[in-house]
């Protein structure tokens, strides 16, 4: 517990909260172009889910949050089926058939 003298000398500092996905800036999704993946001034690395993709260097994509556990520094996903990112070709089912 600080004394009154100590509080006069240096005040209490507010706790700053750090966002885990700063490139989205409070939005659930953000539109961007692929350089690697480039969204509104932030250069980020995003994961492309599914098997195979059609994305090239200047493709326009929609980026959402969500990190990939086994890839360090990858904190974003690209939304398939929107803008230039097409859905997964010949997809048969969304869940595993094993029970």
Domain boundaries, the chain: 19-79
pLDDT in tens, 13-30: 999 988 888 888 778 878
pLDDT band at 6 (very low <50, low <70, confident <90, very high): very high
CB neighbours of 45 closer than 8 A, spacing ≥ 6? 36, 37, 73, 74, 76
At residue 41, φ and ψ (nearest 5 deg) are 90, -20
In DSSP terms, 82 is beta-bridged to 85
- Domain 19-79 homologous superfamily, CATH: Nucleic acid-binding proteins (2.40.50.140)
pLDDT in tens, 44-65: 888 888 888 888 888 888 888 8
pLDDT band at 32 (very low <50, low <70, confident <90, very high): confident
Residue 11: its pLDDT value, please? 92
Position 9 pLDDT exceeds 60: yes
Q: What is the spatial distance between Cα 6 and Cα 16, in angstroms, rounded to a whole number?
A: 22
* pTM for this model (two decimals): 0.65
Residue found under tokens 């989205």: 24
């Amino acid at each position: 517990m600080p004394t009154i003298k100590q509080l006069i000398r240096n005040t209490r500092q507010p706790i700053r909260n750090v966002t885990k996905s700063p490139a989205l800036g409070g939005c659930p999704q953000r539109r961007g172009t692929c350089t690697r993946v480039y969204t509104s001034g932030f250069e980020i690395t995003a994961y492309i889910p599914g098997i195979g993709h059609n994305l090239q260097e200047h493709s326009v994509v929609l980026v959402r949050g969500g990190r990939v556990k086994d890839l360090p520094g990858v904190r974003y996903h690209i939304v398939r089926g929107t803008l230039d990112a097409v859905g997964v070709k010949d997809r048969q089912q969304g869940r595993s058939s094993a029970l």
